[in-house]
A and B are shown apart, each in its own frame.
Chain A
Amino acid sequence: MIIVAIKTESKKWDIKEAKKLFQEYLEKGIKEEKKETKLPENTVKIDDLNRKQTLGRIYKLTDSIIEMIYKNGRPSIKLPSRTSGNIIWDEENDLLLLGQQIMEKQFHSLGSVADITRLMKVLEKVNELLLKDMHATKREIFYSAVQLFGDQKNSDKCIEDVATMLYTTRNSTHIVASAKGSCIGRLRIRDRNDIIDLEGLGSGGWTITPMLDNVEILESDAEFILVLEKDAAMIRLSEARFWRKYPCIILTAKGAADIATRMFLRRISKELKLPVFTLVDSDPYGHYIHSVYLRGSKRLSYESPFLATPDIKLLGVLTRDLEKYKIPNDCRIPMNQTDIKRTKEMLSEDFVKKNKAWETDLKLALNLKMKAEIQALSTFGFEFLTDQYIPEKLSTGDWI
């Protein structure tokens, strides 16, 4: 007996609002291409450098260290401070940036002797990577001197410090984070010599590579990019072949956004001038993930200009949707103390305050003290997400 999958006829939504936005972005993108983004004066300027430039900076730094040793035997390294006090939100470009506070790591001080030695070790490794034009993950760096680093936390910190120390991006140091994101949809790229059509990769999609400097974007006819928080939603959408019906590129970082995914998102949205929508859980963590895509994390604030994708729209799941779609109480989860605390923290951020709609939504969440996951929508049927929820929102422009 042959069991034929029941395919309910679903109507095709006219995603007119999304299309409108696509037009806008296209025009804006062409305009913006002409003018450079100007960073505020009191911030540190970080450059995206090529291999040779980075090497040059490394030698300059080591020379100065040797000079110091010859002078009085007391080397020290100066680098921009990455404490939260030194992080500035650039309102104009909607970015988190690093201020000009400098800290000095002295070798002959008990507090920083370990730090400066580790920095030097990482610098040595970076030098090696760049010379050989190779990439390494953070983990690899950690294992190159386990004794010295003690814990991967220390080496990770140093890796970030080395990038700031050289006033360049993490990417330029050839140390990459293991990427876990995947992408699917109407996009064709070239990775070194391989041309990859992201439409023809089955339901798994293409795994975003951390070595994005090898990737070239070829063509796309998508009208928008959809960023998902979770792999579960990705499976839902890829099974439904969502991009066939609505021309789009779907992207997920499977949880928190890693650098490669963010960077890739930024690249495709910039190069293809597409509007970006995020679909995250309706909880403070989901909102936070959205904000990271939007304007970068605090930890890597200095790289925000290269990682963040401004003007992302938060498509869902919004707190107000819980009422609007009458999601049953069974599927709602009461907020715990950490959630409430996080929500309040979010509310105190400048960029949230500025976005009134977002602020209202978070406040509503605080009032209801309820959260829900994307999967809560499945209570109306598995197709609800692809056939009803997303298209409806896209057509009505129901986003933040």
Chain B
Amino acid sequence: MKPTDTRDPDYYHKVVDCQWACPAHTPVPEYIRLIAQGKFTEAYLVNRRSNVFPGILGRVCDRPCEPACRRGRVEEEPVAICRLKRVAADHRDEVEHLVPQKPAQTNGKKIALIGAGPASLTVANDLAPLGYECTVFEAHHRPGGLMISNIPSFRLPEEVLDTEIGYIEKMGVEIKLNSRIESLKGLMGEGYDAVFIGSGAPKGKDLKIEGRDEAAANIHIGIDWLESVAFEHTKSIGKRVLIIGVGNTAMDCCRTSLRLGADDVKVMARKPRQFFKASPWELEDAEDENVEIIVNHSPKRFVVENGKLTGMEFELMEYELDEDGEITETRKAGTKIIPCDDVILAIGQENAFPWIERDLGIEFDKWGVPVVDETTHASTLPGVFFGGDSAFGPKNIIWAVEHGHQAAISIHKHCEGEALDERLPRGVNLASAKMGVNEWMYSNTYDGAHRRDMPLVDLKARLSNRKMEVELGFDAERIATEVQRCLNCDVQTVFEAPLCKECDACLDICPVDCLAIVPDGEEAALRASLKVPAANKDQALYVSEPLKDTGRVMIKDENLCLHCGLCAERCPTAAWDMQDADIFIPHVDNEAGKVAAE
């Protein structure tokens, strides 16, 4: 097999599963080490550079990092990465003077950003310190986009949102509230150098079945209803509420209903639990509040009596599954009426652009979705860029942030007259973590502790106040334990083949048997030749250059490596070394030369 090229920045990056899985590539192990040292402010700033909203995301991130976390493969559960992000935000000192600042003078370039959600705010965050004059247009009277209108305050307190948006405003970004853009053509006539569209996916899907129109007063579209609650137009709901759909919006709807007076809330799912779209922890939180989740019920009609909604009729579904868990057959086994006072529809949302004139040169596909380049975020009209949910449909905040970072690079290049696709490549910078004999600049011991749970406010207290944050945050014991669960995957095992004398010391000491010295061969044969065969194909197999004494190769299965450094401690020639891999993710300040690429 060809020896592994570890100079490819993606090789070591992939080993840091959490950072690789994070759309914004947050250097998770690095900030967890800072938290372990009590450097909460530094941990916050490391986070902020990547994900801009650590306080917000530390509460409500979709956490793609956690299912990816190596810890989950080594023992049962991943490191509570998201909880630790909140720890950094909760315990930081004042950072207002440490975040990027308003420049002494602007560069004269004017950027319009539509929608004050995470995508636009990230673009502004990246461009304003470089001198760009950013103006954000927001339809509502408060900035934040879905972070304020759709995420309930009991999950994300308004102060947290206001503080982190405040940092961006103080960079000189103007946020024009109550300023819905009704015509893109009109806006473009105002002399902006570029326009960024981060208007989200604001259109909740409706369910046009029998009884929909007659019972309209008691049928609500999930995201509109949440917004109405957030802006305090809606203050109550019936006692018995049915939520249709089982995604994260449904979870917010059912929990909000409980806080507005409902006491019998059922979430109705068409399919079995393994098909639910909601994150497992959001399901748990809802069930913890006694929300009942009912599977295999497909909506048939709204039951209306005397012009008023009294219930909903469902088809009872039965499914046949194959070995892979895919549905092969669907059967209907009768119907059932479930009485209710209100129904909330949370069955998805889509983007809508009634305010974009179709003759501007912005191409839309047959579903009305704009044609957007996945790397540059450029539309087919030069100078107009899309990001967040408005670009590729509903995703989540952390994706919107990454879109913002990438769009900011494109906007800068557009204004400089540079090619949008000639972007700085990612990089990797390795530095030995060795401090002395068997001393490393990270804690390499393996701590077998299990994942700490989040302490919550008492159920009765939390339901009595819609704005009371449910999660209390980690205490000192939880922080101290959880930080040690991180395996420091960014401290890489780096091998120098010419130094190896094939003494087997590393193979013998490896606690997860991920190393072997074997005759070279095809990848499948090499994977099978490990003491514990490398069956997880998603994880790379490292292959060294041929070794000098026997011509065999050193191989390493990256799957379960604990990054404990015992191979390096046992190596008599330092052929194995532990090296801190700093993954360089270029942002627009790197492109602009304001921050040197490492």
Chain B associates with chain A: no
B: which residues have CB within 8 A of A?
Answer: none
A: which residues have CB within 8 A of B?
Answer: none
